[in-house]
Chain A
Amino acid sequence: MSLLSVENLEVLFNTDDGVITAVDKIGFELEEGEVLGLVGESGSGKSVTAKSLMQLNPLNTFYGKNSSIRLKLGVGELDVLRLKSSKELVVVRGGAISMIFQEPMASFAPAITIGSQMVEQLMIHTSLSRSAAQELSIEMLQRVGISEADKRFHQYAFELSGGMRQRAMIAMALSTKPKILIADEPTTALDVTIQAQVLDLMKDLIQEFGMAILFITHDLGVIAQVADRVAVMYLGRIVESGPVKQVLHSPAHPYTRSLLNSLPKLDALDEPLTPIPGDIPSPLERPPGCVFHTRCPEAIAGKCSSEIPISVNVEPGHQSACFLNESPVEKTA
């Protein structure tokens, strides 16, 4: 069994306007030491998916009956969604799974030093003494390339620059030696030169710690640079998934193709940009059938708007949920 296997995950929100489906029966697996990229536009459900792995969604959330998130722990396994109290969830939250967020300024407590926050979580999740926890924290800060780590240890989040804060966040997330790291847009708030540094650092750490990473981003370029496999999400469904080279070089789903066409590319300055027509539908008005049919340039009239396409293998390990993939003859390049 894989390190993590998500099956039939359905996440719904109870709101004043009715029940909203944020994630619609998706499944994926994460192997040890693998980087899985989860890519999609805002509202596609990628962050909700990630938060479900630790049950971090707000209180008005409920999960579908057949949903399961199975996590391999040692020889046994557990279903994250069956854990009820926050006491039980400690095994998962910050233990087996750590998370780094997009905006490191918002994720550190502003009135507590970086060091005490790092020590605090080590005291909860490990049996280290306070002094040993402090030692490990400073070591981790050094490991992620923060100079004068013992000085930084006693500083507050506002005293660090954006790139440094994100490094500290990574150091904190990794100090408990999680099996899985969830990185939710970890470089989106950073400048490109700093982004390149942080991505490099993450690649090094994957090798060193041998953990699996679920890397969430809207930037396909970042995915191309770090991920082994990628899953493309649109309106709560995974429309295409597979090894990163195959998905980016020969995308099978019209959404992935459109997304790639709408990106400005530096090596093709004269090519016109092709936007995806229309806007992303509101989650309250999810289209029936294939969720992408309202904007799809290749939609089959009458079929895509009523039937839900199932995922099929277009290549070994490369799946796409589109009717066009079922009859390869109609497939356009």
Chain B
Amino acid sequence: MSNQPLVEVENLNVDFPLGRSLLGKPPMLRAVNDVSLKIMPQTFFGLVGESGSGKTTLGRAMLRAAPITSGTISFNHGNTKYDVGAMSKMELKEYRKKAQLIFQDPYAALNPRMTVRDIIAEPLEVMELVQTREEADQKVREIASKCRLNLEHLRRFPHAFSGGQRQRISIARTLVCSPNFVVADESVAALDVSIQADILNLLKSLQNNLGLTFLFISHDLSVVAHICDTVAVMYLGTIVESAPTRSLFTQPKHPYTKALLSAIPTLNPEDRGKAQKLEGEIPSPVNPPSGCRFHTRCPVAEDRCRKEVPQWRESSPGHSVACHLVG
């Protein structure tokens, strides 16, 4: 059972139209390009990359909040199986109870005119998971205490809370319908470091206690390194490397992963100037480079990289990479 992935993505493409055209189809922007991945149940799957790499779009596609152009996303939980790309309206309604999203900005995500109790209870009412108000109250209290919110907080409005508390409210709202799969999109990016550690610890303990599976999207590699079991690195819509966290951070194989790791400023002043510098910026996805998409910035690119798209293959058990130069 546990060998079966909870979410399996195969050859996924997501396109967005660029403006409109009167005649024929408008040009398309490929935000996610031929992505395949497996997320095992009850794990933290990390997705890292710079802005514009398509990590948010990939996360949203898994929740069917972004258009799926081709490829499949399957969700398998016990006896329930969904083909996320081809769900009926009724199935989608059921799927929403199982797959949820935590937003980035806890200041924008909460309605200022609703009390915390109403904010957390809203999904229950919308999804018709409860019959009576008492039942809703009961569930709200349960999840609030799991997310370390006081019961007296439930009567207040969001403005009375700090960033960390708001993110806990936002997490409680996400988890109140008991989902199996949660997409956390930059959920700690807007928080101060002293609060960030608290939310990360909370997510980890909730995952253990409730048996959740997380897709954790972040641009911050050190955060991902601490919380995730498996990490995939995205660049310009494609996954360039994926491995168990320890393996990825101790033995990065793709030149992009290496550069990304060395660009993180370390706390040691003696490390100055040791960072391996990447030249240039991420190219526009409207007109992606030929061959390997990273070749324009790659320090070790060869002729072949400019022409051939590198194959996605397993270079050591569990550690997959898409680069011509990795043996």
Binding site for B on A (CB under 8 A): 41-42, 161-164, 191-197, 199-200, 218-222, 224-225, 244-245, 248, 258-260, 262-267, 269, 272-276, 279-280, 295
Contacts and interface: CB of A to CB of B under 8 A. Distances in A.
Contacts of B42: none
Chain B contact residues, majority secondary structure: helix
Given A163-B281, A274-B197, A196 B263 contact: yes
A265 B219 CA distance: 15
A275 B198 contact: yes
Contacts of B263: 192-193, 195-196
B277 A196 contact: yes
A263 B50 contact: no
B162 interface: yes
B223 interface: yes
Contacts of B261: 266
Contacts of A263: 193, 197, 222, 267
Interface in B265-294: 265-272, 275, 277-279, 281-282
Contacts of A245: 269-270
B92 interface: no
Contacts of B271: 224-225
A248 B272 CA distance: 14
B194 interface: yes
A264 B275 contact: no
Contacts of A195: 263, 265
Contacts of B282: 191
A264 B164 contact: no
Interface residues of B, number: 44
A9 B222 CA distance: 36
A162 B225 CA distance: 26
Contacts of B11: none
Given A192-B50, A194-B50, A263-B222, 16 more contacts: A41-B192, A163-B281, A191-B51, A195-B263, A196-B278, A220-B267, A225-B271, A259-B193, A262-B193, A264-B226, A274-B197, A275-B194, A275-B198, A275-B201, A276-B198, A279-B164
Contacts of A264: 197, 200, 220, 222-223, 225-226
Give the 6 A-B CB pairs with smallest separation, nearest first. Answer: A221-B265, A275-B198, A276-B194, A275-B197, A273-B197, A191-B50
Contacts of B307: none
A262 B281 contact: no
Interface string B160-176: 00111100000000000
Interface in B245-270: 245-246, 249, 259-261, 263-270
Nearest to B162: A279
B66 interface: no
A162 B219 CA distance: 16
Given A196-B278, A220-B267, A263-B267, A269 B200 contact: no
A225 B271 CA distance: 7
B43 to A, nearest CB: 16
Nearest to A246: B269
A266 B221 contact: yes
B301 interface: no
15 contacts: A161-B281, A191-B50, A191-B219, A192-B263, A195-B263, A221-B265, A225-B271, A245-B270, A262-B193, A262-B196, A262-B197, A263-B267, A266-B221, A276-B194, A295-B194
B149 interface: no
B40 interface: no
B195 interface: yes
